[in-house]
């Protein structure tokens, strides 16, 4: 394909992806009320406890167009999520012709595994959202109303969901690096202290509460994903070692230089003489 044909192909794929997102947005607009009720559910749980303590916390909109902006943001984000298979498929169809067969195969594996992992991380974030809100809103003094802009609340919850979702996909990146031959399970196990510190730090940042039980509940699922990734990497390392031993590659290390064969008399005549160094 020429450069112009690539641009035309990209335009067609982008147009279809946008149509898919628009279709998902229309569906989200129809079900806006239950979607928004689901979004504000963690806030409602915290408000009930705050009211029992005599604190007033209100989720409000400011300005004439704020409510419209809120609804537009909710339905667009929901439309992007609902149309995820459509625009991912269009993106893949644009990239696939430039990939080799094995790269396509691992690309399929990555998309198929990364999607549920991302949703798993987002689900954990949604379950821990009331504890986060309880922490931050707990600083509201008595007899002081805390009026929260609803768009700021929506931005906050989306950032947390994205943060957790990406965190759940990181172990999959380790596996892909292993299959590419850039990382081994032994190297990852050797750095187990840093992995443990990373998981605990992630949990501490995601749930900045003094309660160690809550932090452990967040850290354990991600530790479990890392353990599964290490097991998959170990199996692949064993398979690669058996293959190299069968083909005779195991007797050479990766950084060992290959020995040059002995030159026979005819080949020796082809060697450059010292006089050939002159330009």
Report residue 27's pLDDT band, with 50, 70 and 90 as the boundaries: very high
258: in domain:
no
Per-residue pLDDT tens for 185-244? Answer: 888 888 888 888 887 877 776 665 566 776 777 778 778 888 888 898 888 888 888 877
Domain contains 277: no
Q: Report yes or no on 264 lying in a domain.
A: no
pTM (whole model) above 0.75: no
The CA distance from 34 to 30, in Å, is 10
Q: Which domain holds residue 146?
A: 3-251
Angstrom distances, CA of residue 217 to CA of 15, 120, 200: 43, 14, 10
Domain-embedded: residue 267: no
Instruction: Tell me which of 18-32, 52-66, 100-114, 142-156 is least confident.
Output: 100-114
How many domains does the chain divide into?
Answer: 1
Q: Is residue 260 part of a domain?
A: no
Q: Which helix (H) or strand (E) holds 147?
A: strand 145-149
Classify residue 273: in a domain, yes or no: no
- Model confidence over 89-139: pLDDT tens digits? 787 777 777 767 766 777 777 777 888 888 888 888 888 888 778 877 777
Share of the chain above pLDDT 70, in %: 83
**pLDDT tops 70 at residue 19:** yes
Asked whether residue 235 is assigned to any structural domain, the reply reads: yes
What pLDDT was estimated at residue 258?
A: 56
Q: How many CB atoms lie within 10 A of CB 56?
A: 14
The mean pLDDT value of the chain amounts to 78
């Amino acid at each position: 394909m020429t450069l112009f044909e690539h641009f035309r192909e990209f335009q067609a794929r982008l147009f279809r992806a946008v149509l898919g997102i628009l279709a998902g947005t229309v569906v989200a607009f129809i079900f806006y009320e239950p979607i928004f009720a689901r979004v504000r559910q963690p806030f409602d749980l915290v408000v009930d406890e705050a009211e029992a303590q005599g604190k007033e916390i209100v989720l409000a909109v400011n300005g004439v167009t704020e409510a419209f902006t809120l609804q537009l943001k909710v339905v667009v984000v929901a439309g992007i999520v609902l149309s995820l298979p459509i625009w991912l498929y269009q993106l893949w169809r644009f990239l696939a012709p430039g990939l080799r067969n094995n790269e396509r195969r691992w690309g399929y594996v990555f998309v198929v595994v990364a999607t549920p992992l991302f949703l798993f991380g987002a689900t954990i974030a949604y379950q821990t959202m009331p504890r986060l809100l309880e922490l931050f809103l707990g600083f509201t003094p008595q007899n002081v109303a805390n009026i929260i802009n609803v768009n700021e609340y929506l931005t906050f919850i989306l950032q947390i969901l994205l943060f957790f979702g990406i965190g759940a996909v990181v172990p999959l990146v380790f596996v892909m690096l292993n299959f590419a031959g850039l990382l081994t399970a032994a190297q990852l196990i050797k750095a187990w202290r840093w992995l443990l510190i990373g998981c605990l730090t992630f949990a501490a940042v995601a749930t900045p509460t003094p309660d160690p039980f809550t932090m452990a509940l967040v850290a354990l699922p991600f530790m479990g994903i890392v353990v599964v990734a290490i097991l998959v990497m170990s199996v692949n390392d064993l398979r690669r070692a058996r293959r190299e031993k069968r083909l005779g590659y195991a007797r050479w290390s990766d950084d060992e230089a290959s020995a040059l064969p002995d030159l026979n008399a005819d080949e020796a005549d082809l060697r450059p003489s010292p006089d050939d160094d002159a330009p």
